[in-house]
Amino acid sequence: MAVQFYWYPKCSTCRKAKKWLDENNITYEAIDIVESPPSKEQMAVIIEKSDHPINKFFNTSGKKYRELGLKDKLTDASEEDKLDYLASDGMLIKRPLVVGENQATIGFKEEIFDQTWK
């Protein structure tokens, strides 16, 4: 089964991850995270597949994150509100986001990709 590879083509980290997937012959469906961000329901499933809390899925260094003042808002936000934020704009999601049948990874660290996707 092909993994879903949510990425932003202008992101250098995403391009490194794509190169790793290609070099390791991993079949994937590339999805532009800005044009087609995961829905609220998809995000809930992705978060469950990962071993990370929901806050790890936010692109905290992104311009949109700062513009919306999410650093302060997320402290008191419910899980539902956080899912709404993530589903509202692909630029709020840390990338790349790789989703398989039973697991998901956020960001790109070669050793984690080696352990998870090989």
Name the average pLDDT for the chain: 96
Task: Check residue 89 and give its pLDDT.
Answer: 97
| 12-23 helix and 110-117 helix, angle to the nearest 10 degrees | 40
**Structural domains of the chain, count:** 1
Q: How confident is the model at residue 1 (pLDDT cuts 50, 70, 90)?
A: low
What token pair was written down for 49?
């597949």
Whether the predicted pLDDT of 53 surpasses 70: yes
Range of the domain at 82: 3-117
pLDDT digits (tens, 9 = 90+) for 13-51: 999 999 999 999 999 999 999 999 999 999 999 999 998
Residue 105 belongs to a domain with what CATH number? 3.40.30.10
- Mean predicted confidence (pLDDT) in 80-105: 97
- Predicted structure pTM score: 0.94
